[in-house]
Amino acid sequence: METYAEVLLPIPLERNFTYVLSESQVASAAIGARVAVPFGKSKLYTGLVLRLHKERPEAYTPKPVFRVLDDQPLVSPVQLRHWAWMAGYYMCTLGEVFRTAVPSGFLLESETRVLRVEGTDLQGEELNDLEYLVLEALEHQPALSVGEIGEIVDRKRVLPLLHGMWSRGLIRLQEKLQERYTPKTVRYIRLHAQYRSDQALETLLDSLGRAPKQSAILLQLFQLQEGAEKPVKSKVLQEKAGASRAVLKALIDKEILEEYLLEEDRIAVGEEGPSGPMPVLSPHQEAALQQVRQGFASGKPVLLYGVTASGKTEVYVRLIEEALQENRQVLYLVPEIAITQQLVHRLQRVFGRRVVVFHSRLNLMERSELWYHVQAGTEKAAVVLGARSALFLPFADLGLVLVDEEHENTFKQFDPAPRYHGRDAAIVLAGYHKARVLLGSATPSIESMHNVQKGKYALARMERRYGNVLLPDIQLVDLARQYRQKRMKGRFSEPLAEAISETLASRQQVILFQNRRGYAPIVECQSCGHAPQCPNCDVSLTFHRYRNELRCHYCGHHRALEQTCEACGNPTLDTKGFGTEQVEAELRELFPEAIVDRMDLDTTRGKYGYQKIIGAFEARETDILVGTQMLTKGLDFRHVGLVGIMNADTLLHFPHFRAHERCFQLLTQVSGRAGRTRERGKVLIQTYNPHHQILVQVSNGDYEGMYKEQLYEREQFRYPPAVRILKITFRHKEYNRVGEGAAWFAQALRQQFGTQVLGPEFPAVARIRNQYHMNVLLKIPPGQPLSPTKNSIKRIERSFNAISQYRSIRVVYNVDYI
Ligand code: ADP
Ligand code: ZN
């Protein structure tokens, strides 16, 4: 009787496929192990065995498994359970979760190679620009991968292009199987087994008397082995003995020496040596730690709500230590891994090499290797620090999950599926491991505080800064008045300019926050009012003066700024609004002595972009740092006397139900960078709305007031946490079609859910990368069970796809849209 494997493929399929195993494969295949299986016409995929069984599928003839790739499961039952939860909850396929969860180094895949067709006559062929580029590239290279072609034509999706060219006989396609992860091995050398006895060795050395080079090598080897059979790398021996590879080779051929391979670790570790001392906690920290422990005892996740610079990190350190004492693993999630260098150093000072960072800069191989470390529960991966995707690592025994800055919206994956929330998914995972969960923030999300109020989470509080440093003095500056009284110098009000001078004079540093990068958001013609638009998206282009170009922040399109308006031809283009680049430029004029630096997406693209900027500021090489919201994410600088917010109004007026909450969080967090360790810091917020409730709450540090008011509004207008929001986005390149399709879908939803359905509506930017978007929101009240709701929606989607003119519209679900 044959054995079958139900196999999960890393592609968005609604169901799994069954393959047949040969007798020899049956012995090695296990649930959670990888298999290479054929799929479609000629493709091989890496799949995962979900189930082994004896039931022959009836609907199709099962294909054979091509190869079993693992003798140990790559993925554990706990992980599979977590993936299944994620696919169900966030309404995507299990294959999409698989694809995201597993480092791509493990996903051996047949790669499509594009080849030229020899001897084709291109005369008379009508080629468009892209086709011409592809053929030209193939003149120089016989074969290219699909990815390489994507780079050449500067497009993400090139398959339609290639398909067109293939069907016209312009190119050939070929499948090639690629294994991507290979352990790194290093050659070591030792004496051949036959000479391991003293007597044999003596005879050998005598016989080598006439070959001095060879005996020199042997003596060198004994020295390097330090008598104790210490492993010696071939390369090291060769160098030390000053011998050539040929001499070494001769000894190996004569079976005097033998070479063997050892796997080398790619994971760079932190500082060597023992762990450092634990910090001594202040009484406030000690009290909070007790509250956290009590919360853990109740089995609930704990929210640690501690003001900025209250010393949350040291409390985390204590809890990490406790988990390590129990020999359990720790997952430490942060919103943005690129700027955590400070934190990594702090943790490594205490935990030494037990801290490992799951970094976006790890390459395929390093990621795969870290996977094995975490799976084996080695000491090296006892504490994993990472952004949201670190939660997919195969933890053997997770004891503690920390989610720092839990309010940050970067924890939510936006694209592609699974569109999961890292905090929430980590809480579910922790449940499977019976691990403790701590969420930390100085400005908790309304959801989390609401969960405390409902008794779902426990609360721990820190109301004071470490060392009793006062929270910063926050003042609002009325921009309208400053302009009226002609007190503005460029974008700087008189109080802000003066405060900067004073701060610099007292040898303190300044941080300036402007939530827009570039020089000016909009370029506008003074004669005709025309503003240059992105050809692919419905937005105006942003002016970047440094490169003198216009850029689209949605798709990356860029071009040089023209001298004259493309609409009316007049040389009257002017800039409106301002970004970080302009703030930086004005600072250089106002404070020519000060050293100014800028931190935003444009200045941090390089590999160590962030570290250079942060490092220089820490070392006080920089006086003033201008930046976007990257500045808000938990940085701990010691000499910042002043934080200035250039303009708070864009944050206030952002059209989103969460705009006020985010504005409060952002401004409180940036303000929190001021005066962290000694003297009280100062914060100036420039705004046209100095009486706006949210800004008043920021300046009074009134989180409770903000929370109550926002919660009331969310309940009135039915937004989270009063309801759950499921956002359904429809995407298509034709404006009319997406409109009709979305309307049909919304109508079908309304029949079922009535007034809980909002839309369809075009979002603020309706066209991105040449695709029109339309949104429908479904508000799900607390009592309404989720899975039947989702099943109804899936049913509607199936009917939708049965209508031929709608089939090409992409339907995207975003559960718990934030
Ligand atoms: P938070 O994360 O709450 O904003 P941090 O953990 O960054 O605050 O602490 C703020 C500052 O106080 C840091 O510079 C930190 O080194 C210092 N600090 C906090 N707790 C202690 C402690 N127990 N001993 C010494 N320094 C501490
Ligand atoms: Zn664009």
Q: Positive or negative CA dihedral for 764, 769, 770, 772?
A: negative
Using alpha carbons, select from 710, 774, 685, 298 the residue that is nearest to residue 477.
Answer: 685
Distance 553 CA to ligand 2 centre (A): 7
Ligand 1 pocket, residue 280 CB under 6 Å: yes
SS3 444: coil
Distance 556 CA to ligand 2 centre (A): 6
% of the chain beyond a pLDDT of 70: 94
Strands (E) located in 265-395: 302-306, 329-333, 355-358, 383-386
Cis preceding linkage at 760, omega within 30: yes
Residue 705 above 60 pLDDT? yes
Ligand 1 pocket, residue 313 CB under 6 Å: yes
**Residues 675/681, Cβ–Cβ less than 8 Å:** yes
Q: Which two tokens stand for residue 687?
A: 């705004």
Q: Which two tokens stand for residue 749?
A: 């939803």
Ligand at shortest distance from the CA of 768: 2
Nearest CA to ligand 1 atom 25: 279
**Is the pLDDT higher at 96 or at 656?**
96
- Pocket of ligand 1, candidates 307, 636, 639, 640: which has the most ligand atoms within 8 Å of its Cβ, to mutate? 636
- CB-side neighbour CA atoms (13 Å) of 140: 5
Residue 517 above 90 pLDDT? no
Residue 122 above 70 pLDDT? no
Chain centroid to CA 725: 23
Strands (E) located in 273-420: 302-306, 329-333, 355-358, 383-386, 398-404
**Residues 33/70, Cβ–Cβ less than 8 Å:** yes
Ligand at shortest distance from the CA of 463: 1
Given the structure tokens 């409106």, which residue do they identify?
576
CA distance 783 to 361: 43
Q: In what order do the strands lie in the sheet with 109-116?
A: 143-145, 109-116, 171-178
The pLDDT tens digits of the residues spanning 13-37 come to 888 999 999 988 988 889 999 998 8
Chain centroid to CA 687: 33
CA distance 722 to 703: 19
Amino acid at 781: P
Q: Which two tokens stand for residue 505?
A: 């004079």
Burial of residue 52, with CB atoms counted within 10 A of its CB: 0-12 exposed, 13-18 middle, 19 or more buried: middle
Ligand at shortest distance from the CA of 465: 1
Average pLDDT for residues 89-111, to the nearest whole number? 85
Using alpha carbons, select from 427, 559, 394, 346 the residue that is nearest to residue 86.
Answer: 427
Distance 315 CA to ligand 1 centre (A): 9
Q: What is the pLDDT of residue 274?
A: 53
Lowest mean pLDDT across 315-329, 604-618, 671-685:
604-618
Count of residues in the chain: 818
CA distance 781 to 631: 36
Using alpha carbons, select from 10, 156, 13 the residue that is nearest to residue 97.
Answer: 10
Ligand 1 pocket, residue 310 CB under 6 Å: yes
621's CB contacts (< 8 A; 6+ apart) are 595
Q: What is the pLDDT of residue 374?
A: 94
Average pLDDT for residues 559-585, to the nearest whole number? 83
The pLDDT tens digits of the residues spanning 157-214 come to 777 788 778 778 888 877 665 555 566 667 888 888 888 777 888 888 888 777 778 8
Pairing of strands 771-780, 757-761: antiparallel
Ligand 1 pocket, residue 676 CB under 6 Å: yes
Per-residue pLDDT band for 271 (boundaries 50, 70, 90) equals very low
The pLDDT tens digits of the residues spanning 618-663 come to 889 999 999 988 877 768 888 999 999 999 988 887 778 898 999 9
The CA distances from residue 121 to 126, 144, 170, in Å, are 12, 21, 9
Ligand 1 pocket, residue 311 CB under 6 Å: yes
**Residues 386/403, Cβ–Cβ less than 8 Å:** no
Using alpha carbons, select from 90, 664, 128 the residue that is nearest to residue 414.
Answer: 90
Q: Please tell me whether the overall predicted TM-score, pTM, comes out greater than 0.85 for this model.
A: no
**Residues 48/33, Cβ–Cβ less than 8 Å:** yes
For ligand 1, what atom is nearest to the CA of residue 638? 14
CA distance 304 to 318: 14
For ligand 1, what atom is nearest to the CA of residue 404? 2
